[in-house]
Amino acid sequence: MTAFYRGAMTRFRTHEQQISTSVLVIGTGGSGLRAAIELAEHGVEVTAVGKRPRHDAHTALAAGGINAALGTMDVEDSWQQHAADTIKESYNLADPRTVEIVAKGAAEGISDLERYGMGFAREADGRISQRFFGAHTFRRTAFAGDYTGLEIQRSLVRRSEQLEIPILDTVYITDILTDDNRVFGAYGFDISDGTRYLIHADAVILAAGGHNRIWRRTSSRRDENTGDSFRLAVEAGARLRDPELVQFHPSGILEPENAAGTLVSEAARGEGGILRNALGERFMERYDPERMELSTRDRVALAAYTEIQDGRGTENGGVWLDVSHLPREIILKRLPRVYQTLMETQMLDITREPIEVAPTAHYSMGGVWVRSEDHSTEVDGLYAIGEASSGLHGANRLGGNSLIELLVFGRIVGQAAAKYSATLPAQTRSADAIANARGEVDRLLSADGPENVRALQRAIRDMMTDCAGVVRSEEGLQQGLARLDEIEARMENVGIHPDIAGFQDLAHAYDLKSSALAARATLEAALERRETRGCHNRSDYPDMDPAMQVNLVWSPETGVTREEIGPIPEEISELIREVSQEGKLVE
């Protein structure tokens, strides 16, 4: 490194901007922007920061749709039935109060999107179209083609710009700052030029996603869902709930390597796609002969995994998803994004050839422990929403619920944070907390060890895939913890090398810290959950255990503890029943 460039690095390290705001939102996807909008519309000062450009947040990748019991297609639908379907699909691990709040508030969430200019698909008479998704009793999933998440994100960005909400793109938050169990802001740096940010805030809303990027094959991009929310919350003093409950999507592509895990929307199966193994067998006949490819995510993913493990997979370790028997015009009209994705990534024409797919880590159904009413944590002034939080999904997420959760709790948490900020008589500061945050960035920037942070991230992904994938066991999870111990020891000798392209290497170092913490929480909770329930498959405990109908709460200090789940209100419980999948899209 030249003397000139060493000087440039020093200048970047010492430059620091200080910002003050009433509420800081970490994450600029759907949940973060919805909370920021709520605050701004009530005249509360808010700043939002995200490590990705706001237009390209993870929410934009969501395809299928968003749930609300509007009754536009089936007038007999109700919020109670929506809640019942959610709890049934969660394998009774969802928090009933959280479910009730989302189901009741869903219609208002849709109205908010309409107010922001969201372009929903509509019937000829102007009603919002709604379609079936798997495990729904009625048609309650609103949509915009197979670009629903992208349209939601565009609508929220547009509304944020109208309100002139300050949004900082490419800012990586390294620490939530606390004093005596109360937040007072956050610390971070700009990934592009290394500029430090010291942000003072009365309240912090954590909306930085989940942890599914810690598996080798995942639907998240390289810098998304690496467990940031988990680490930031835990280091601030919060706990995690159900980190072992991770939904594996049945159909992620295998090639090219830099796109491995990219989803083939389940609409492909919903429109008539067929799954076959390498022998040409339609293998879902063995696992769910009634519903076949329209079975639920957890079951289809397990079926594909079993075929691959038993030697009936493709040479690349996948299975075939075939839609080529469908009319070309149907594919281009109903599956435009799938068609475009495969043409762009593989030059594969899905109207002529099958798609090679395998299960891929897709969604964190557990997350930061929060109170159901307002998603506050046990740290005063700290809130968590979206995939960063827990409570709604249990052991299997009902398709279409993730997007409505963003809208409902984005509004509620925005209001709660505003109220909290207004009641503070004064805001304390901690020089020690700020010094520690600064010092850790300095320490990493000066680290010059032989270990490469990207290689260690890959080691974690390989370990989690080998030891805590679709199917788990006591032996495998113990091996995972032993391998994690070795990785964490190697993490003490990393080398960080910012370059002329920016400070991505420093960001990867923090991603690595987050991934290691999320991996440990997941492995330890998966060990404790000695049963098979929903997405969590234990080969050594193949049955569901009624004694395990509890949430598992994790922290570094206490390890895993059990938490009882509240009672289901009678008006919801009486509606819980098996739901036919005939004619429905899967999740």
The domain total for the chain is: 2
Stretch 78-86: mean pLDDT, rounded? 96
CA atoms within 13 A on the CB side of 237: 17
As a whole number of angstroms, the distance between CA 442 and CA 77 comes to 56
Domain membership flag for residue 111: no
Domain membership flag for residue 203: no
Q: Identify the domain boundary among 362, 385, 417.
A: 362
* Secondary structure (3-state) at 99: helix
Instruction: Tell me if the bond preceding 569 is cis, omega within 30° of 0.
Output: no
Domain membership flag for residue 564: no
| Known catalytic residue at 297 | yes
Stretch 17-21: mean pLDDT, rounded? 96
Question: Which letter does DSSP use for residue 558 in this model?
Answer: T
Distances from the Cα of 457 to the Cαs of 104, 192, 298, 404, 533, in angstroms? 41, 21, 26, 32, 29
Alpha helices by DSSP H, listed for 147-261, are: 148-162, 228-236
CATH code of 267's domain: 3.90.700.10
Domain membership flag for residue 477: yes
Instruction: Dig out the tokens for 186 from the structure.
Output: 């956050």
Domain membership flag for residue 49: no
Q: Please determine, for residue 502, whether its predicted confidence score (pLDDT) is greater than 80.
A: no
Question: Which letter does DSSP use for residue 227 in this model?
Answer: S
CATH code of 504's domain: 1.20.58.100
As a whole number of angstroms, the distance between CA 479 and CA 219 comes to 25
Q: Which of 52, 196, 269, 297 is catalytic?
A: 297
Angle at 469 between CA 258 and CA 317, to 5 degrees: 55
> Structural domain of residue 256, as residue ranges?
247-362
pLDDT per residue over 93-122, tens digit each?
999 999 999 999 999 999 999 999 999 989
As a whole number of angstroms, the distance between CA 466 and CA 546 comes to 28
Question: Which letter does DSSP use for residue 54 in this model?
Answer: G
- Sorted by sequence, the CB contacts under 8 Å of residue 186 that are 6+ apart come out as 24, 26, 49, 173, 175, 176, 177, 197, 199, 201, 204
Q: Identify the domain boundary among 362, 377, 400.
A: 362
* Secondary structure (3-state) at 563: strand
Domain membership flag for residue 514: yes
Q: Identify the domain boundary among 317, 338, 362.
A: 362
More confident residue, 55 or 537: 537
Confidence (pLDDT) at 583: 42
Domain membership flag for residue 20: no
Answer yes or no: are the C-beta atoms of 273 and 293 closer than 8 Å.
yes
Confidence (pLDDT) at 579: 54
Q: Please determine, for residue 587, whether its predicted confidence score (pLDDT) is greater than 50.
A: no
Domain membership flag for residue 432: no
Stretch 63-87: mean pLDDT, rounded? 93
